[in-house]
Structure formats: structure tokens, C-alpha cells
Amino acid sequence: MPALGESKAIALRRFYQLERRLQAKDDIREKYIEAMREEISNGYIERAWGKPSTASYYIPHHYVEKRFRIVHDGSCRTSNSLSLNDIQMKGPKLQFDLADQIMRFRRHQYAVIADIKKMFKQIKVDPSQWDLQRIFWRESPNEPLLEYWMTSVVFGLKSSVHCSCRAMIQCARDNALSYPEAAKAIENNFYMDDGLIGHETTKGLEVLCQEINLIMKSGGFDLRKWHSNSIEVEGLMQSSQSRDEVVLEDKEKEATKVLGLKWIKSTDELAIRVNVTAGQKSKADTKHTWKLQAIPWDEPLPEGIAKKWTAFYAKLHALAEFRIPRWLSIKGDTLREIHGFCDACIIAYGAVIYVRTINADGQIKCILLTSKSKIAPIKPVSIPRLELQGAVMLSRMLNHTLKICDFKDVPLYAWTDSTIVLYWLRQSPEIWAHVVSQDNPADLISRGIKADEIIKSKFWKQGPEWLLKAKEEWPTPKLK
């Protein structure tokens, strides 16, 4: 902390700039004042008394007009060019990545999502640290300018994400003896303030959600915006929150947001949130491909590339119609397999993974789980070498998927249409086999597919047709 320079002058100057902006926008000023009053009344901000200690920092604040919110700038540099964020540690990652949480969310037949109301605000900062979170504020230029402390975790500081997640995890661990399953779910099934919870039965899900709610409330974390594909569970959990916190769903689509995707609860499908509408023209008519070294960033694209981009952009809106099942059709007695495919061409390489299940009645399903792609290096690389890169990618994805989804003793199948790669891998475990190119869904990754085509592609969503048949009917691979 002693490494910080003087920050008061710059924070004061930026407050005066903010004040002038607010004077010119009555509607924004009213929102700003209302938000600050709420912060003060809830104790998230307190009047600062006395002189700041030698280790102090004044945080400038401003607003984002679209979907109004107040932003705190912990990266504002002090007189010696260091900011509070510069001297803070970020802290280790404590939660699964966003894509991993989506995969985990798909394991159970019945699911619930909820989020924590103002998560950061519920976590108190030790008073000895408040001088590092000083701000200036007044409602009008006619009033005295006052100094305040922000007493809780501040959104905009490097350590805030770690501290917030760590506090929530500690809350779970403090209650682990009383509610072990719920404590484990809190620790493993939250992405920041979003909880994605699942269970094989509605009764089990009800109990789990109620226990999670109890644990979170004990730490001051208020869960809200409960949604479920079970009407009974959703009704039960929404009844536990105030009516003004119950969020009305989109009646037209019956969809709710889940970590950047849309969850259509009535059909239990996941869809893509697309901010492009049909007929909308792209604003990006300047350089966005850094391979064109001779063209500056703000120069218009060459006509040929511009046409390709315009055609690509014009069909992006179709992705809003893409649907895949959320649930992977996995139950306790369900037989399951993991099938991965990889491919490469001179443009790109990638891999895709499917979960194949066989239920007690012999019904077979194959559902897209995850995929990944990479653009080929600018420096020319041979196709066999790129095919090998795709195989490496698939190997890592298969191992990662088993770990993230807690799949144990699940048969793995790795497919490639490259006989050269199979010869290179001949000493590897015998999960690798040959698939003809027309039966390799990863081919869609390497060669590309248009948005209006992929939404209709059963091949992409389910894999080759023979995966829906008995193993005896699968094509005989060229190499084993």
C-alpha cells in the first residue's frame, strides 16, 4: 500500500467533470442521485471522517448511460503512475469457466437458475481498508463537497471477483456439515453471482434449492430470479422472494437468460442470443482482419473482402433460431458414451464432442455437448500437421469434459478422417478410429458453414446418423 502515490487531485478533477456532465442531463442526474441515496441508506457508502491514512486511494466514479449503472475506476493512476489495481493481487480462479458451467448445467433432467442480488454489496470490507475506497460526492454544486468511504466490495477493483467468490464459498463451507449437498452445489455450480443447479428428480431439486437458499441467506446473499423447467420447483422458489423480485419471463419465447445463452424452459432447449436483426447493415466496414498488413485499422476494406463480410453478417440473425436440447438425456441407469471428432483444412481446425446415451428401453440419443475451433496459423503449415493439431485439441477436450462433467468409467471414442494422423497415433490408446469425411461433423468447423444452414443441420446437432444405431451397424473403420 505505501507504493501508491497521491490520488486526491485526479479524483477531484474527475468528479467536477462528472458533475458538469450530470448538470446537462437531468434524467441521468436523477438516476445517479437516486442510486447514491440507495447506497448510502443501505450502508454501502458511509460519510468519511478525519484525515485519510498514508495508505489511501480516491476512486473516481462515472456512469454508463445504456442500462444505467455507476462505474468505479480502480485503474486510475496516482501521482507516481500506480493505481490501486496495479498493486492488488487478482487472486486465483475459484469457479469453473462459463462454458464449463453450461456443460455441467446440462447433466440433470431438472434444472434451476437463480442469481444473487447485488452480490458485491453484501460483502463488507474490513474498516481498516476503507481509506483505500474513498470517493467524492454531493447531489448539487450548491452543496458542500463531501468525502465518503465505500464499505463493501467495489465492482471495478482487481481483487473484487476473487474476494466475492471466496466469501460465498466460505459461507457454503460454514454450513457444509448441516447441508453437505447444498454446500457442494454452491461451491461448484455458481458462475459469479449466477447459480445453475440440477437434480434427477423434482423433489430432490426442491430440497436442494431450499437448502441452498438457507445457506446463502445466512451469509446475507439474497437469491432471486428463480427459473426452472419444473413448474412446481419454479413456483416454490419464486414464492420465497418478494413479488417485485419475480421477473416476468418473455411470454413470446418463454425464454430466460443463462450465462449469455437463452433457456427455453417449455421445451428445455438452449438457444443463442443474437443482437443482429434481419436486414440490419454492418457498421464494421473498416479493417477487422489483421492478416492484411498493408491496410491501416481505420481504412475501408477492399471490395472483395467487404462483400464477403457483408454476406456473412447478413445471415447472422438466423442463429437466433438455433436450438439444442439442454438435458443430455442422462439418468442414473443410462448407458453413456463420449464421441469426439476432429478435422482440419488449410483455413482452420477444430473438434466437436457428443454424448451418446442408451436408456433402459434401448432408445439411443446423440446430443452435441461442446466444440472448439482455431484459425490456422498465417505461416503455412501442412494439412497433416494441422490434422494432428486438431487431434491434440480433441484429446485435451475429451479429458477436460470427463473432469468437468464428473463422467467416470465412460467409454471414449475419438474419430478423425486423417489416416496419416492415425498412423502417427498408432501407439496411443485404442480410442482412436477412422471416419470418412462425409461422416465427420468436425468438417463443418474446418471448412465453415453458413448461419442459415447450421440451424437446420441434424448432422451438427446429433453427429453422423449411424451413432443413433447399434454399434454393430457402425461403419467399419479403415484403421484401428
| pLDDT tens-digit series, residues 338-354 | 999 999 999 999 999 99
Pairing of strands 412-416, 432-434: parallel
- Quote the pLDDT of residue 277: 82
pLDDT reading at 246 higher than 60:
no
Architecture of the domain delimited by 322-473 = Roll (3.10)
Burial class (CB in 10 A: 0-12, 13-18, 19+), 186: buried
**116/208 Cα distance (integer angstroms):** 16
% of residues, the chain, pLDDT over 90? 79
Which residues neighbour 301 within 8 Å (Cβ) at sequence distance 6 or greater? Answer: 285, 286, 287, 288, 289, 295, 309
Select from 289, 291, 288, 287 the least CA-distant residue to 379.
291
Alpha-carbon distance 348 to 383, whole Å? 10
Q: Is the pLDDT of residue 241 over 80?
A: no
Mean pLDDT (whole number) for 319-347: 94
Report whether pLDDT(289) > 70: no
Q: For residue 249, what pLDDT is reported?
A: 45
**What pLDDT sits at residue 370?**
97
pTM score = 0.89
Burial of 132 (0-12, 13-18, 19+ CB in 10 A): buried
CATH tag, 98-120+160-250:
3.30.70
Cα–Cα distance, 386 to 366 (Å, whole number): 27
Class of domain 8-91+126-150: alpha beta
Confirm if 223 and 115 have CB atoms less than 8 A apart. yes
pLDDT at 23: 94
Q: Per-residue pLDDT for 243 more than 80?
A: no
CB 125 within 8 A of CB 133: yes
- What pLDDT is stored for residue 32 in this prediction? 97
Which band of pLDDT confidence, cut at 50, 70 and 90, is reported for residue 15? Answer: very high
Give the pLDDT confidence score for residue 275 in this predicted structure.
Answer: 86
Task: Give the mean model confidence (pLDDT) for residues 211-221.
Answer: 96
pLDDT tier at 287, thresholds 50, 70, 90: low
Own/partner contacts of 239-248, CB < 8 Å, gap of 24 or more, are: 240/210, 240/213, 245/117
pLDDT tens-place string over residues 97-120: 999 999 999 999 999 999 999 999
The grid coordinates of residue 478 equal 479403415
pLDDT for the residue numbered 253 = 47
Strand 110-116 and strand 194-199: the pairing is antiparallel
Q: Where are the domains of the chain?
A: 8-91+126-150, 98-120+160-250, 322-473
